[in-house]
Amino acid sequence: MSAKRAWVTGIIGLLCCSLSLVACVPEPSAPEESAAESTETTESTEAFTVGAIPDQDAEKLQRLYTRLAEYLTTELGVPVEYKPVTDYTAAVTAFKVGDLDLVWFGGLTGVQARLQVEGAEAIAQRDIDAQFHSVFIANASSNLSEISDIAELAQLKGRSFTFGSESSTSGRLMPQYFLQQAGISLSDFKGEAGFAGNHDAILKLVEAGTYEAGALNEQVWNTRLEEGAIDTNKVKVIWRTPAYYDYHWVINPAVEDQYGEGFSEKVQAALLNLDPANPEHQEILELFGAEKFVETQNGNYAQIEQIAREIGKIQ
C-alpha cells in the first residue's frame, strides 16, 4: 500500500467514525425495546430499583444483590433491579432524581436524601443500627491512652487524625460531633484532618502510623479483629462512642403512585420478614451484616440531622 493509499484509508476511517456517530443518534430506542430486560418487564411496569452504597464486604455485593433482587421480586410481584453505585453523593443524587427507589443509606446520607425528596421514608434498619457505635483508635507509638470520659478526647489536640469518607456517619459525622463536645475542632489537629475514604483505610493508615489516631465504624473494627487482619501491637481502641442511629433503608414516595398504594409497607414487610433461620434469607442478611431488619422511622434521625446542620454537612 502506498503512502497515498494509507491516507485515503485514514480519511475514510475518520469519515466512518463521524458517520457512525451521526447514524447512532436516532438508533438507540430500537435496541432498547428488543433488549433482554423487556422480556422480564411487563409492558406497563418499570422495574423497582434498589441501590446500596457498599460500606464493607463489597466483594459479595454483586453476587448477593441478585439474591436480594430475586427475593424482592417474588415478595412484591414487580420486577426489581439492582443498580450499582459506589459513591454516597452519587447515591443521594440518584435517589433524588428518582432513579433509585429504595436505597440502603448511612445515617447522614439518608437524612440528606430525605431532605431532597419530600415524603421519603426511613422504613427499616438492622438490629444493630439503633445502637450503633464508632471506635476511636490510636497507633501504639502515639502513646495515646485509653479514655473513659469524653472530655479526655482533648488529648487528641496537636495529634494527626483521620476520618473516613466525608459523608460517613460513623467514620466522620459522629466522631467529629463527639470531638466538638470535647472542645476539639478540626483545626486543632496536627496538619489537616485526613479523609481516608473508607473504614478499612482508616484502620490501615493508623496501623501504619501515618496518622496517630482515627475513628471508624465499630462493626468494621470487630469484623477485622475476628479475621485477624489487625496488628493489635500497633493499633488499639482508645474509646467507644455513645450509641446513635445509623444505616437504614429509605424509600421514595413516588413508588406509591407507580406500584399502588401501600407499596412502601409491602417493601417494609418484605425486609422485616427476612428470616435468619432460612438459609437463603440468611445469605442476604449476612450481606448487610445484620441478624435481622427491624422497623425504623424518620424521627430516629433527628439528632443526626441537627448535628449535620451544625457541622455544615446539611446546608
Instruction: Annotate 252-268 with b (16+ C-beta within 10 A) or e (fewer).
Output: beebeeebeeebbebbb
Residue 156: CB minimum distance to another protein, A: 15
Contact letters (x/-) for another protein, 128-147, by CB under 8 A? -----------x-x------
Residue 169: CB minimum distance to another protein, A: 12
Q: What is the C-alpha separation between 104 and 90, in angstroms, rounded?
A: 13
Residue number with CB closer to another protein (23 or 302): 23
Return the SS3 of 122: strand
Of residues 74 through 93, those in contact with another protein by CB under 8 A are: 83-90, 92-93
Residue 269: CB minimum distance to another protein, A: 27
- Are the beta carbons of 123 and 294 closer than 8 angstroms? no
| 9 lies in the site for another protein, by CB under 8 A | yes
Residue 249 phi/psi, 5° resolution? Answer: -90, 130
Contact letters (x/-) for another protein, 89-118, by CB under 8 A? xx-xxx-xxxxx-----------x---x--
Residue number with CB closer to another protein (191 or 299): 191
Q: What is the C-alpha separation between 11 and 267, in angstroms, rounded?
A: 57
Residue number with CB closer to another protein (51 or 268): 51
Of residues 227 through 256, those in contact with another protein by CB under 8 A are: 231, 234
Residue 145: CB minimum distance to another protein, A: 19
Q: Order of strands across the sheet with 121-126?
A: 80-82, 48-52, 102-105, 248-251, 121-126, 293-295
Of residues 35 through 64, those in contact with another protein by CB under 8 A are: 35, 54-59, 61-63
Contact letters (x/-) for another protein, 295-314, by CB under 8 A? -----------------xxx
Please count the other Cβ atoms lying within 10 Å of the Cβ belonging to residue 21: 9
User: Alpha-carbon dihedral of residues 88, 92, 98, 101, nearest 10 degrees?
Assistant: 70
Contact letters (x/-) for another protein, 262-291, by CB under 8 A? ------------------------------
Q: 67 CB contacts (<8 Å, ≥6 apart)?
A: 280, 283, 284, 287
Residue 167: CB minimum distance to another protein, A: 4
Q: How far apart are the first and last CA of the chain?
A: 65
Residue 261: CB minimum distance to another protein, A: 24
Of residues 164 through 223, those in contact with another protein by CB under 8 A are: 165-167, 191-192, 194-198, 200-201, 204-205, 207-211
